[in-house]
Amino acid sequence: MLAELSNTIATLIGIFVALLGAFIFAFWIAMGIWTFNDIRSRTRDWLAIGLASLMVLVFPLVGLVLNMMVRPRETLADVFDRALEEESLLRELESTLACYRCGLPVQDHWNFCSNCHSQLRYACSNCGKAMRHEWDICVNCGADQTEQEGTSAVGGANSRHRADAASTTAAREMAESDAAFRTP
Same domain (yes/no): 57, 7: yes
For 161-179, write each residue's pLDDT tens digit: 444 555 565 556 555 655 5
Residue 116 lies in a domain: yes
Residue 173 lies in a domain: no
Q: What is the domain count for the chain?
A: 2
| pLDDT of the residue at 83 | 94
For 29-57, write each residue's pLDDT tens digit: 999 999 999 999 999 999 999 999 999 99
Helices of type H across the chain? 2-40, 46-58, 60-70, 76-95, 145-151, 156-181
Start-to-end CA span in the chain (Å): 107
| pLDDT of the residue at 153 | 36
Same domain (yes/no): 54, 105: no
Same domain (yes/no): 65, 104: no
Residue 163 lies in a domain: no
Same domain (yes/no): 64, 117: no
Taking the CA of residue 105 as centre, how many other CA atoms within 13 Å lie in the half-sphere pointing to its CB?
6
Domain span at 123: 96-148
Residues in the chain, total: 184
Same domain (yes/no): 30, 67: yes
| pLDDT of the residue at 161 | 47
Give residue 19's pLDDT band: very low, low, confident or very high (50, 70, 90).
very high
Same domain (yes/no): 1, 64: yes
| pLDDT of the residue at 150 | 45
Residue 45 lies in a domain: yes
For 113-133, write each residue's pLDDT tens digit: 888 888 888 788 788 788 877
Residue 84 lies in a domain: no
